[in-house]
Structure 1
Amino acid sequence: MVIDDHPAVVAGAEQWYGTSERPIEVVAAGATTGAAWTPPGDTADVVVFDLQLNGGLPAYGELRRLVDAGRRVVVYTMRDDERTALTCLDIGASTFLTKAEGRDHLLAATVAVAEDRSYTPPALAGAIGANTAPDRPRLSDREQEVLIEWFQCESKRLVAERLGITERTVNTYLDRVRIKYANAGREAGTKATLVARALQDGLIQIDDL
């Protein structure tokens, strides 16, 4: 579903989704997040969210409510500054996309998020690359290997198959990584946030994704 207070943006997104190679159904749209909590918006796999509803301050509180409810959120905004992008990831947004990045990135981001895959458009890559986090947890070689494989695979089952370990072991390594980041004061509760942390710390490069 699309949450945006500009009808032209909503109409444009619906047209892009409907004519993509892999059609995406927009089940609901609205100018406020209220549409996300009522049928049929509450059934949407992905919420495309305008961070500045009604031209005001960034709606971080509304974003947090969506994330805390388990919704997959693509932040879609006119803002393109590093601080806003990283704040959205820290809250738990699946990815951050500027409206200037256009049709192809919006379609690709929506499909990736629906499939629980990471997606890093140019603006987000720039924000992550410009950020320097001082508290870098020490990950073991095996933890890094599992983490990078997970970024490149569509599921933990595929990671397990590629590395010759069990899916439970994959989960164990990823849990260890999240705990280390949490202990460093840098929460990484979602896959998108883990990608951001890994990029910030130089564990991976954009080309690795």
Structure 2
Amino acid sequence: MRSDRPVGVALVDDHPVVLAGIEYWYTTSGHPITVLAKGHDVAVATSGPGRDADVVVLDLQLSEATPAYRELKQLVAQQRQVIVYTMKDSQDAALTCLDLGAFTYLTKAEGERHLVAATLAAAEGVPYTPPALAGAFGSDTRRGRPVLAPREVDVLLEWFQSESKAMVAQSLGLSVRTVNTYLDRVRIKYANAGRPATTKANLVARAVQDGLVSLDEL
């Protein structure tokens, strides 16, 4: 993962001290991470300088009433890379956020090191699984897992280990067009199951959740 490219971040949290703390972490991280916008409302990430942020860090509890799933859906619909960063240490909440298209799920107890690393990974589109999320994956017994054909699984797993679809095609003796077809089928199946996976990082997360690949293998 490259860490020398400037990364812009939008912070959405209803606690000013948390916003200030995260910005300080980024400033002192030794990486070129800049907070472009911050505030208590998701609008800071969808208008003004926040629109250009590579990564959005979203607090799941923006109100006492309900988790910010609606705001997460809004950001994902705009194809934003969203790190859910929350006090809520909940397997169900973590898996729900992943199913809605979040890049990853971090508890605030996991702290600076994981947030900075996840931010860099999100900017590069490289999967990142912090400890709490790994535990949620390992105990996920929910329904809604699509049935993938053996060849779809072969292509998916080979793609996780390859730098390009051309390499996948060469390794499996397929054309790039056929590789794209298989991956499109997998994405459609996940979308139909209500678990969209529009990016490679999302597909990796789904594969880990569904036991197609282990974290050790990745």
TM range (shorter): 0.7 to 0.9
Report the counterpart of residue 7 of structure 2 in structure 1.
Answer: none
1:17 maps onto 2:26 in alignment: yes
Structure 1 residue 41: Cα displacement: 0.7
Question: Mapping of 1:34-49 within 5 angstroms?
Answer: 34-49=43-58
Report the counterpart of residue 195 of structure 1 in structure 2.
Answer: 204
**Structure 2 counterpart SS, 1:179:** helix
Aligned length: 208
1:32 maps onto 2:54 in alignment: no
Structure 1 residue 198: Cα displacement: 1.7
- Equivalent of 2:188 in 179, 183, 196: 179
Report the Cα distance in structure 1 between the residues aligned to 2:38 and 2:156, rounded to whole angstroms: 35
Whichever residue aligns with residue 153 of structure 2, its letter is Q
Larger helix proportion of the pair: 1
- Equivalent of 2:16 in 7, 20, 32: 7
Distance 1:49 1:136, change over 3 A: closer
Structure 1 residue 93: Cα displacement: 1.0
Distance 1:82 1:160, change over 3 A: same
1:123 maps onto 2:132 in alignment: yes
1:148 maps onto 2:157 in alignment: yes
Question: Mapping of 1:101-116 within 5 angstroms?
Answer: 101-116=110-125
Distance 1:3 1:153, change over 3 A: farther
Question: Mapping of 1:158-177 within 5 angstroms?
Answer: 159-160=168-169, 165-177=174-186
CA contact (8 A) 2:100 2:195 kept: no
Distance 1:76 1:145, change over 3 A: same
Structure 1 residue 136: Cα displacement: 4.4
Report the Cα distance in structure 1 between the residues aligned to 2:140 and 2:184, rounded to whole angstroms: 24
Question: Mapping of 1:128-139 within 5 angstroms?
Answer: 128-134=137-143, 136-139=145-148
Report the Cα distance in structure 1 between the residues aligned to 2:127 and 2:52, rounded to whole angstroms: 21
Task: Using the aligned pairs only, state the percent identity.
Answer: 60
Q: Which moved more, 1:167-176 or 1:34-43?
A: 167-176
Question: Mapping of 1:88-107 within 5 angstroms?
Answer: 88-107=97-116
Distance 1:152 1:56, change over 3 A: farther
Q: Which moved more, 1:148-157 or 1:39-48?
A: 148-157
Report the Cα distance in structure 2 between the residues aligned to 1:96 and 1:154, rounded to whole angstroms: 25
CA contact (8 A) 1:85 1:124 kept: yes
Report the Cα distance in structure 2 between the residues aligned to 1:161 and 1:123, rounded to whole angstroms: 36
Report the counterpart of residue 6 of structure 2 in structure 1.
Answer: none
Structure 1 residue 186: Cα displacement: 4.6
CA RMSD of aligned residues (A): 2.4
Q: Which moved more, 1:41-50 or 1:187-196?
A: 187-196
Instruction: Summarize deviations over 1:33-58 as a string: whole Å, max 9, x none.
Output: 12112211111011000111144421
